[in-house]
Structure 1
Amino acid sequence: MRPRRSTPGGAVLSGLGAASPGRTRAEQLAAALDDRIRSLGLRAGDAVGTLESLREETGYAYSTVSEAVRVLRDRGVLDIRPGRGGGLFVADRGPVVRLRHTLLDVQDEPATVADAIELRDHLEVLVDVGAARCRTETDVAELREHVERLRAAPDWDAFMRANWALHERIARICPNRMAAAVYAGTLGHLSSASSRFDDAEASGRYRAERCEVHADLVEAIAAGDEAAVRAAVARHNTTT
């Protein structure tokens, strides 16, 4: 491996020796890049480097660097801009990504929390479409009650408990019991993670937006409209 060197305006990436058990080199590099962005206080739009500069700095193969960048792009941490003047830039994080970032900051098994988020997102369409196909009037009434509890939550902790409870109730409707069980298991990891926004105003905006996203999802399930369910899930899992 080539000796590491810092990119302009950056700090040498740390913790990049042999891969830790259960973590690939790409995952290690993604974590180190994320740490660099936070430690330097970089903001949305700030340059992070290029694939080539990171490859030269770390000595890693191009495929490893590309995979690490893809992970951070998918998490909403990095933007990739092609062409002249392009490169890697800090992404403008919407409220959903900020929530995920706080979840990933928890001290207890952050890698497990990250895995739970990724798996939950992949299962969301399967579980929610299944619920739309099999919902009953009783199911719909209870889902709407959960949405009202979400709206009425007096504080952040109550809001998050209501959020997880709503998703657990949706999972109980899904006819694919294996998928529902795995999905509910991911919620267990997430609901046990202590996370919050430090910014009260940002928290209020996030909560109001997420109430409407969940209300739309419940109404799509109630209508049995699979296209609307997929659209609602896309909103749920993105940074809008």
Structure 2
Amino acid sequence: MRTMPQTSSSGQPLTGVGQGARTRAEQLAAALDERIRARRLAPGDPVGTLESLRAETGLAYATVSEAVRLLRDRGVLEIRPGRGGGLFVADRGPVVRLRHTLLSVAEEPGTVADAIELRDHLEALIDVGAARHRTADDVTDLRRLLGELRAAPDWDAFMRANWALHERIAAISPNAMARAVYTGTLGHLGAASPHLSDDGGTGDGTAAAGYRAGRYQVHADLVEAIAAGDEAAVRAAVARHNTTT
């Protein structure tokens, strides 16, 4: 892994990365937030892309993605998919306030179960919306993320790839309010996932491998249904997804 450069391609330092006890993702998020404030970027101004930040910093794709997710959840960044998309300074409007409300209850008892129930109710709305509005670039991204899900070396990596795939599907849906609630639940579930055992909670490695294979196939079916714009197939995949979580 290359060392984080001292300045960005625009000449604005990414300070604080590589120092202190925070994770690399937290350090990068803080540095990006500082850059946005130092340059006085306005809502809608471009910040870059995941690939440009990865190339600039030399950090792993998962680290850059986590830093971007942290800033999105804090209402700093907006992720726009597809051609001409990327990372933009967020407009801190009612959708951001809604996401902050979801994050504020993250530590209350029972919120993992609550988040799963809420996500399951929104899954069909989000995924059917994606099937109606997907572009060729969207489909390419979904299949790439699906490949990362299949190649995940362990349970934690599998879950991170799972959340990344669902976040990308949600980004296609035009319903901004549903996206905010849905991705808010994913953020909470993603934060909880490292507490799961490497066997996926099944008790042994063999069972875990079978469980992961089954979960991968459900997601593969969902992606292909979205790619085909087949709403009936999307709903069938969602039903399987929600009953085997």
TM-score, normalised to structure 2's length? Answer: 0.53
Paired residue type of 1:222: A
1:20-99 equivalence runs, <5 A: none
- State the distance in 2 between where 1:110 and 1:216 align: 34
Residues in 2 aligned to 1:166 and 1:110: alpha-carbon distance in whole angstroms? 27
Q: Which residue of 2 aligns with 1:236?
A: 241
1:170 aligns with 2:169: yes
Partner in structure 1 of residue 225 of structure 2:
220
SS in 1 for 2:145: helix
Residue 155 (structure 1) shift:
0.5
Deviating 4+ runs (over 6 angstroms): none
In structure 1, what residue type is equivalent to 2:123? Answer: E
Structure 2 unmatched ranges of 5 or more: 1-106
Alpha-carbon separation, structure 1, partners of 2:152 and 2:226: 22
Q: TM-score, normalised by structure 1?
A: 0.54
Alignment partner of 1:140 is 2:139: yes
Residue number in structure 2 paired with 1:209: 214
**Corresponding pairs, count:** 134
Secondary structure of 1:175's partner? coil
C-alpha separation between the residues in 2 aligned to 1:213 and 1:229?
Answer: 10
Residue 14 of structure 2 is matched in structure 1 by: none
User: What's the CA shift for 1:195?
Assistant: 1.3
| Alpha-carbon distance in 2 for matches of 1:170, 1:118 | 18
Q: 5 Å matches for 1:98-137?
A: 109-137=108-136
Secondary structure class of the residue paired with 2:243: coil
Q: How far apart in 1 are the matches of 2:159 and 2:109?
A: 18
SS across alignment from 1:192? helix
Change (3 A) 1:183 1:149: same
CA distance in 2: counterparts of 1:223 and 1:177, whole angstroms = 23
Q: How many Å separate the matches in 2 of 1:151 and 1:110?
A: 32
Shift of 1:109: 4.1
Aligned equivalents of 2:234, 2:189: Cα separation in 1: 22
Q: Structure 1 vs Structure 2: percent identity of aligned residues?
A: 74
Q: Distance in 1 between matches of 2:108 and 2:160?
A: 20
Q: Give, in whole Å, the separation in 2 of the partners of 1:141 and 1:208.
A: 22
* 1:109-137 deviation line (CA, Å, top 9, x unaligned): 44111110000000000000000000000
Structure 2 CA distance for aligned equivalents of residues 118 and 195 of structure 1: 18
What's the secondary structure of 2:177's corresponding residue?
helix
Residue type of the partner of 2:196? Answer: S
What is the alpha-carbon distance in structure 2 between the residues aligned to residue 139 and residue 159 of structure 1? 21
Structure number with bigger Rg: 1
Residue of structure 2 equivalent to 1:23:
none
Q: Does 1:187 align with 2:192?
A: no
In the aligned structure 1, how far is the partner of 2:222 from the partner of 2:135? Answer: 15
> For the residues of structure 1 that align with 2:122 and 2:244, how far apart are their CA atoms?
18
C-alpha distance in 1, partners of 2:129/2:123? 10
CA-atom RMSD in angstroms = 1.6
Partner Cα distance (2:176, 2:145) in 1:
21
SS in 2 for 1:206: helix
Distance, in Å, in 1 between the alignment partners of 2:122 and 2:169 is 12
Q: CA deviation at 1:239?
A: 3.2
